[in-house]
Amino acid sequence: MARYRQGLEGLMNKYQHVSIPRAPERVLLSDVAPFELPPNISSVGFYALVTNSKMRWSGQSLVWSASAPASHTFIGSLLAGMHGSTPPTDAKGRLSIKIEKSWRLPHKFAVRKSDGQRRTLSLPHPLSQLQIVNYYRRNSSALLYACSKSPFSLRRPEKEARYTFTEDALHVYTKSRASRGIEASYREHEIFTSYFRYKSYSNINKFYESKHYHELEARYSFQRRLDITRCFESLYTHSLDWAIRGHYASKQGLEPRESVFSKDLDGLFQAANYGQTNGLLVGPEFSRIAAELVLQAVDVSVQEVLSREFNLKYDRDYWIGRYVDDFFVFCDDTATADLIQDSIETELERYNLRLNKAKEHNHAGPSHSPIDAAKKKIGKRVRKYFKDFQNAYGDESSHLLPPSVHSVISYYKSQVASDAATPAQVNNFVLSVIEKRLQRVIERGAPSTRRECELTTNFLRGICTLVEFLYFAAPSVSASVRATRTLFAALNFMTSDWASRTCGTHC
């Protein structure tokens, strides 16, 4: 314990970047599972098993190291459907099982979105996850190239993510407290948000708050927002090949001389969804990348049609931004917007996709959406709450009173009512602001005096109260995930060694 405490104190005010092995197995931690997984389900254990036993998908076989523990061999046999049997060892010291069946059932579960609608998400079978890992290993460069063609895309994979994580004081402390040999969902692990880095915006709220968005509002007098209805459920797996090779080559069954990554992707999604060709798995980041391939083809065709048939030049007569399946159209009049929308609809129909008329929104001049206004105001008030705490914390001679969380809650209720926005429409954004700001507080390190301890403890209690209020105001799966992560971080920091060492029994 003394060694870990020295490490904690040494890293209290600095960060150390630790390298991560360059391996596509990282996909298991980031791209194969839905964000809305229940808190008691995690890919960390499967990732550890795969990396420790060097398990991988090869051809039609599951292979792993012959020197792996017997428990890993038993799990590998179960995954392959050979209960209790041990596969033979090949000449290279690898265990191998040939998989006869190619179709696998994903685990499906239903969630409620913030608007109350039901949505079915999918967690791929472990063998399908290993196939996805193998696909990334062979085709990550091709995916990046295929996703680089559209000027419209606001969220596209640009390059592989960095292979480092920040080992701060909290990370060292959390690992030092962990029970050896036990995997817990609340432990801190070197988990990546995605395998790729994304351009230009990793979150739609960043686009709304960007300088570019404000410049577009000033430059064009009209904007229209469009949404594709049930995008992932409506896409055929064959559409992935159509978008890359063209409808004629794909539909006529013209086989390429070599393996084409789009045709392989078509087969991968069919196998992962028990042979179904209608619809992609909903939830995994891998599905979003696959959909991006199709929508990039739509973008390129739309730009060509507008230029050829209507002499409309991109970034001069109009500007289009697409965030996954949402389009943002900026132009100077409704007639131009109608031409653009007709072109988008025509190209989408080639891939069995439709626009959702109920979610179409038009704005003349700068957007004054009640939802956007409520998000900005409440986000600003939450940031002030954190700033007030930092001011009271940082000045020992200050007589500033600690901030009151109840004033934040009262402000939240008044803004939601006055701006005609519902809690379901703003709470995910507010919870994300709280989570990010709390992480900054934790990264700053533990308090060192009784006064700082009392301020920090009361502040963390206030954060828990605020998060609880926001969640119960509009319960949803995504809100529960953010709320759970924030509460775990706050409670874990509140019950750490500094609380008992500095504050005694007072806290």
Contact 158, 304 (CB under 8 A): no
Amino acid at 174: T
Whether 411 maps to a domain, the answer reads: yes
Note down the domain range covering 425: 370-503
Q: What pLDDT is recorded for position 168?
A: 44
- Structurally, the chain folds into a number of domains equal to 1
Whether 7 maps to a domain, the answer reads: no
Contact 53, 76 (CB under 8 A): yes
What is the C-alpha to C-alpha distance for residues 388 and 383, in angstroms, rounded to an integer?
9
Amino acid at 131: Q
Q: H/E element holding 306?
A: helix 285-310
What is the C-alpha to C-alpha distance for residues 80 and 61, in angstroms, rounded to an integer?
9
Tokens for 435?
Answer: 């989570």
SS3 355: strand
Whether 408 maps to a domain, the answer reads: yes
Question: Parallel, antiparallel, or unpaired: how do β-strands 196-200 and 164-167 relate?
Answer: unpaired
Q: What pLDDT is recorded for position 369?
A: 66
Q: H/E element holding 201?
A: none
Whether 41 maps to a domain, the answer reads: no
HSE (side-chain half, CA atoms, 13 Å) at 254: 9
Whether 389 maps to a domain, the answer reads: yes
Contact 115, 479 (CB under 8 A): no
Query: Measuring CA to CA, which residue among 209, 223, 154, 204 is closest to residue 366?
Result: 223
**DSSP-assigned beta bridge partners for residue 180:** none
Q: What is the DSSP letter of 358?
A: G
Amino acid at 252: Q
Q: What's the chain's length in residues?
A: 507
Contact 428, 114 (CB under 8 A): yes
Query: Measuring CA to CA, which residue among 87, 83, 84 is closest to residue 61?
Result: 87
**DSSP-assigned beta bridge partners for residue 21:** none
Whether 191 maps to a domain, the answer reads: no
Dihedrals φ, ψ of 26, to 5°?
Answer: -60, -20
DSSP annotation string for 129-140 = HHHHHHHHHHHH
Whether 280 maps to a domain, the answer reads: no
What is the C-alpha to C-alpha distance for residues 408 and 404, in angstroms, rounded to an integer?
7
What is the C-alpha to C-alpha distance for residues 486 and 473, in angstroms, rounded to an integer?
17
Dihedrals φ, ψ of 274, to 5°?
Answer: 55, 40
Q: What pLDDT is recorded for position 500?
A: 59
Q: What is the DSSP letter of 24?
A: G
pLDDT tens for the chain, 507 residues long, are 344 334 434 433 444 444 455 578 989 988 999 988 876 788 888 999 999 999 999 888 899 888 888 888 788 888 877 654 556 667 678 888 888 778 899 999 988 776 677 889 999 999 999 999 999 999 999 999 999 999 999 999 998 876 544 444 444 444 444 333 322 333 333 445 688 888 878 778 788 878 899 899 889 999 999 999 999 999 999 999 889 887 666 666 555 544 578 889 999 999 999 999 999 999 999 999 999 999 999 999 999 999 999 999 999 999 999 999 999 999 999 999 999 999 999 999 999 999 999 889 898 866 656 777 888 899 999 999 999 888 887 666 556 566 789 999 999 999 888 766 788 888 988 999 999 999 999 888 888 788 888 888 889 999 999 999 999 998 888 888 889 889 989 988 887 766 555 555 444
Q: What pLDDT is recorded for position 475?
A: 86
What is the C-alpha to C-alpha distance for residues 375 and 194, in angstroms, rounded to an integer?
26
Q: What pLDDT is recorded for position 75?
A: 84
Tokens for 84?
Answer: 């209790």
Whether 398 maps to a domain, the answer reads: yes
Q: What pLDDT is recorded for position 504?
A: 52
What is the C-alpha to C-alpha distance for residues 373 and 303, in angstroms, rounded to an integer?
32
Cis status of the peptide bond prior to 58, with omega within 30 of 0 = no
Question: Residue 101 CB: number of other CB atoms within 10 A?
Answer: 10
Q: pTM of the predicted model, to two decimals?
A: 0.76
